[in-house]
Amino acid sequence: MENIKNYFSKSRVETFSDGVFAIIVTLLVLEIKVPHIDLHDNSSDLLKALIGLLPKFISWIISFFTVCVIWVNHHRLFKIFYIFNHGLFWWNAILLMWCSFIPFPTAVLGDYPDNQMAVLLYGIVMMFMALTFSLMRIYAANRKSLLSSEIDISKFKKGTIFSIIFGPVLYLAGAIGSFIHPYLSFAIYLGIAIYFIFPHSTEDIELKSE
C-alpha cells in the first residue's frame, strides 16, 4: 500500500476537473466574433458576413459536442475509480491540459477550414487527448487498488481497448484524412462526437455481471 500522502481526495479532483471543462466550453464560443460591416443597416452585407462565419460555427459545434462527450466519459471513469494516487492525479492533469488546448485548434480550424494543416492540427490535438484518456485507464488497470470493488478488471481492460480504437485511432484517421480532403476529416471528427452522444451497451462493459 502506498503512503497516504500519495493519495488525493477524489471529490476535489473531480470538482477541479468539472471547473476546467466549464471554462473550456465557455472559451470555445468566445472565438466567434460579431462580424463588422460598414453600413449597419445593410441586411445583405450582414447576411454575407454571417455566412462567412459558417466554418467557425461548424468547428465550434464539433468541439462543443466533443468536449461534452469528454466530460461524460470523464464522469463515468471517475465512478469507476475508487481513489486517486499521485500518478492518476497527474494523468488526469495531462488530460485536462490537452482539453484546455482544444479552443486553439478549434479557432484555427474555423479560420482556415480548407487548410490541410489546420485540419491536421485539430486531429493531432484530439488524438493526444484521447490517447491520454486511454493511458489513464491503462495506468489504473495495472493498479487494481485504484478501482472500485464493483469493477470487473478483465472487462475494464476490454473497455480500455475499445477506448483506444474509438478514440486516438479514429482521430488519427481523421488527421490522415486531411491529406485526401479537409471535409472528410470534418465528417470523421463530427462522426466521433455523434457516435458517443448516443448510449451504447459497451458503456457498462466494466461492470461485474449481476
pLDDT digits (tens, 9 = 90+) for 93-129: 999 999 999 999 999 999 999 999 999 999 999 999 9
Q: Is residue 92 part of a domain?
A: yes
Mean pLDDT over all residues of the chain?
Answer: 88
The pLDDT of residue 12: 92
Q: Which domain holds residue 64?
A: 4-204
**Sign of the four-CA dihedral 107, 58, 168, 146:** positive
Instruction: Tally the domains of the chain.
Output: 1
Q: Is residue 42 part of a domain?
A: yes
Q: Is residue 57 part of a domain?
A: yes
Q: pLDDT by residue (tens digit) across 3-62?
A: 555 678 889 999 999 999 999 999 999 988 888 888 888 899 999 999 999 999 999 999
pTM: 0.86
The pLDDT of residue 200: 57
pLDDT above 90 coverage of the chain, percent = 61
Bigger pLDDT: 159 vs 106: 106
CB burial of residue 151 (10 Å; 0-12, 13-18, 19+): buried
Q: Out of 81-90, 159-168, 192-201, which region has the weakest mean confidence (pLDDT)?
A: 192-201
The pLDDT of residue 210: 39
140 is written with which cell numbers? 489504473
Q: Is residue 149 part of a domain?
A: yes
The pLDDT of residue 185: 94
pLDDT band at 199 (very low <50, low <70, confident <90, very high): low
Q: Is residue 209 part of a domain?
A: no
Q: Is residue 210 part of a domain?
A: no
Largest CA distance in the chain: 70
